[in-house]
Amino acid sequence: MPEGDSVFRTARRLDALTGQVLTGSDFRIPSLATVDLAGRRVLETVSRGKHLLTRLEDGMTLHSHLKMEGQWVVQMAGRPWKRPEHEARVVLHTETTEAIGFSVLVDLVATQAEDSLVGHLGPDLLGPDWDADEAVRRLRRLPHVPVGEALLDQRNLAGIGNIYRAETCFLAGVDPHTRVDQVTNLPKLVAIAHRLLVAHRDRSSRITTGDRRPGRRLWVYRRQGPCLRCGTPIRTDEIGPEGQERTAWWCPSCQPPRGG
CATH superfamily to which 4-118 belongs: MutM-like, N-terminal (3.20.190.10)
Tens-place pLDDT, residues 200-236: 999 989 999 999 999 999 999 999 889 999 999 999 9
Question: Residue 137 catalytic?
Answer: no
Question: Residue 245 catalytic?
Answer: no
pLDDT attached to residue 204: 82
Can you list the residues of the chain whose pLDDT is less than 70?
A: 1, 259-260
DSSP class of residue 147 equals H
Residues 6+ apart with CB under 8 A from 191: 132
User: What 3-state DSSP class applies to 119?
Assistant: coil
Instruction: Tell which residue, 15, 47, 48, 50, has the closest CA to residue 164.
Output: 50
Catalytic residue among 2, 123, 146, 176: 2
Catalytic residue among 9, 48, 50, 55: 50
pLDDT attached to residue 259: 45
- Burial degree of 208 (CB within 10 A; 0-12, 13-18, 19+): buried
The CA-to-CA distance between both ends of the chain, in Å, stands at 27
CATH topology of domain 132-250: Helicase, Ruva Protein; domain 3 (1.10.8)
Catalytic residue among 13, 40, 217, 246: 246
Question: Residue 67 catalytic?
Answer: no
**Helix ranges, 146-214 (H):** 147-152, 162-172, 186-200
| Percent of the chain whose pLDDT exceeds 70 | 99
Domain boundaries, the chain: 4-118, 132-250
Whether the model clears a pTM of 0.85, i.e. scores above it, the answer is yes
Question: Residue 128 catalytic?
Answer: no
Catalytic residue among 3, 98, 149, 167: 3
Contact (Cβ atoms closer than 8 angstroms) between residue 8 and residue 158: no
- Burial degree of 183 (CB within 10 A; 0-12, 13-18, 19+): buried
